[in-house]
Amino acid sequence: MYSEFARIAANGEVTAPANPREILSPAVARNGFTSFQIVVKVADGSPWQLYVAQNPENAVRVTLYRENGDRLEPVTQPARGDNTQVFWMDVWADKGSPVQRIKVEPQLNIHNDWVIYPMEARIMAATVPDGMWPAGTAAPGEVMRGFLCGTTPPAAPAAPSETVVTATALRFRNAQQDKALAPKAARTDLQAKFGACETPAPADDPEWYFRVRDFLYRLP
């Protein structure tokens, strides 16, 4: 189980950062999406089934996507396969969700046995304002830089059509939610978390952005 920012190769190996964040008790904002990556790493020819269990039942809405090249293809549960595959787990928490801890556990059935990832998500008081999130491809750090520094994100490939889902598009959507939360913060405090406007994002640590998102999710 990895964050949305971890770079993962098709063989299931994390290529960056060197020490990816451990996903055990992640924060989830209400009225918004939180995304994770699930790696099913098995020997070729090993049939498996993947489920995502919740407790309480239906505490959040979970959508699974299977990575296929640059695209993410929605799959119904259980997801099935017989080789190494990478999935995205998109979690939506309603605006009225109670502030509480819930279990959202990927469960893999393989060789007539179960491998369970024990994740206890924390639904936070932070609530994303209602809004329509435009499609785009800018990195989350550039989205926040635009808000804090008045810059224009660098040119990027055209956003995919609404019928095509990509990891880049989901990260951009999630960053738009962060941008909607940002006005609730003291600007100087948020700038301190982000860093100087002219400082580029660390190339070897795609998870650096969590210092911004973690701060925003702790806002009341």
How confident is the model over 146-156, as a mean pLDDT? 80
**pLDDT above 60: residue 160:** no
Say if CB 149 and CB 114 are below 8 A apart: no
Range of weakest confidence among 57-66, 72-81, 113-122, 145-154 = 145-154
In the predicted structure, residue 159 carries a pLDDT above the cut 70: no
φ, ψ at 205 (rounded to 5°):
-135, 85
Does residue 39 contact residue 48 with C-beta atoms inside 8 Å?
no
* CATH code reported for the domain at 2-127: 2.60.40.10
Contact 65, 72 (CB under 8 A): yes
What distance in Å separates the CA atoms of residue 4 and residue 112, rounded to the nearest whole number?
Answer: 30
Instruction: Please report, for the chain, how many H helices and E strands are present, in that order.
Output: 4, 14
Whether 13 shows a pLDDT value over 80: the answer reads yes
CB 101 within 8 A of CB 122: yes
Show me where the domains of the chain are located.
Answer: 2-127, 140-217
Distance from C-alpha of 147 to C-alpha of 141, rounded to nearest angstrom: 10
Whether residue 207 has pLDDT greater than 60: yes
Entry pTM: 0.93
Q: Residue holding tokens 């994303």? A: 128
User: What is the gyration radius of the CA atoms in the chain, in angstroms?
Assistant: 17
Instruction: Report d(CA 60, CA 55) in Å as an integer.
Output: 10
The confidence band for 158, taking pLDDT boundaries of 50, 70 and 90, is: low
Q: Which of 30, 9, 20 is nearest to 124 (CA)?
A: 30
Mean predicted lDDT score pLDDT of the chain: 94
For CA atoms 130, 136, 141, 142, the dihedral sign is negative
pLDDT of residue 134: 84
CB atoms within 10 A of CB 154: 8
Q: How many residues does the chain have?
A: 220
- The CA distance from 25 to 156, in Å, is 33
pLDDT category of residue 162 using cuts at 50, 70 and 90? low
**pLDDT by residue (tens digit) across 175-205?**
999 999 999 999 999 999 999 999 999 999 9
